[in-house]
Structure 1
């Protein structure tokens, strides 16, 4: 977790979820922004999931329904990757011709 979550959240995760929450801090002497590899993977995964409209907002009433949609989105993402058989590429900027 981010350094902003240090404190009560660590104890709550240990007591309630019976899991260890690791707080990732900035390296000493770092100035400005720097990508932390492990956190980047998590942020990227969450960004991919929000690409699915139903997961972009909290519409679901029950957590089990949200979990099911997260699993569905993850399965869809993985099957697309397996079928593609090539590294992912980002689409370039779209340029629209506006007729005047």
Structure 2
């Protein structure tokens, strides 16, 4: 899960036999425990159903589903969806995440966190352009 800038807030890696909707409840609990100030969560159309009601009833953040409408044809950039896709692209630049060599989900979560730390430290250490404040 990322913030609006694409920075990693919470990550959860599960076995392949666990669906995204099933893992979302645990991820949202962790998000609520670690970041209490978050009030809105945008989710992909795959999370429709009882997850929205569960989030509204059990957790404070409201959830909003970002879906394609029926009149959209071809490739269309969905609002807020690009943030998650951009983060995935950043993470795939990290060699350990480009191939899945890890056997434990916890190791994959740690590698994802470490890759984001590396990405952000490089961004902070980059010299600023002259005249930009």
Point out which structure has higher relative CO (alpha carbons under 8 A, 6+ apart): 2
Of 26, 30, 44, the match for 2:72: 30
Deviation at 1:30, TM superposition (A): 2.0
- In structure 1, how many angstroms separate the alpha carbons of the residues matched to 2:46 and 2:106? 28
Deviation at 1:75, TM superposition (A): 0.5
Q: How does 1:1-100 map to 2 (within 5 A)?
A: 1-4=43-46, 6=48, 10=51, 22-86=64-128
TM-score, normalised to structure 2, is 0.49
Which secondary structure does the structure 2 equivalent of 1:59 belong to? Answer: coil
Unaligned runs of 5+ in 1: 88-100
- In structure 2, how many angstroms separate the alpha carbons of the residues matched to 1:23 and 1:33? 19
- In structure 1, how many angstroms separate the alpha carbons of the residues matched to 2:127 and 2:77? 27
- In structure 1, how many angstroms separate the alpha carbons of the residues matched to 2:113 and 2:87? 12
Deviation at 1:26, TM superposition (A): 1.0
How many corresponding residue pairs? Answer: 82
- In structure 1, how many angstroms separate the alpha carbons of the residues matched to 2:126 and 2:68? 36
Deviation at 1:22, TM superposition (A): 4.7
Change (3 A) 1:71 1:4: closer
Deviation at 1:3, TM superposition (A): 3.0
Deviation at 1:34, TM superposition (A): 1.4
Unaligned runs of 5+ in 2: 1-42
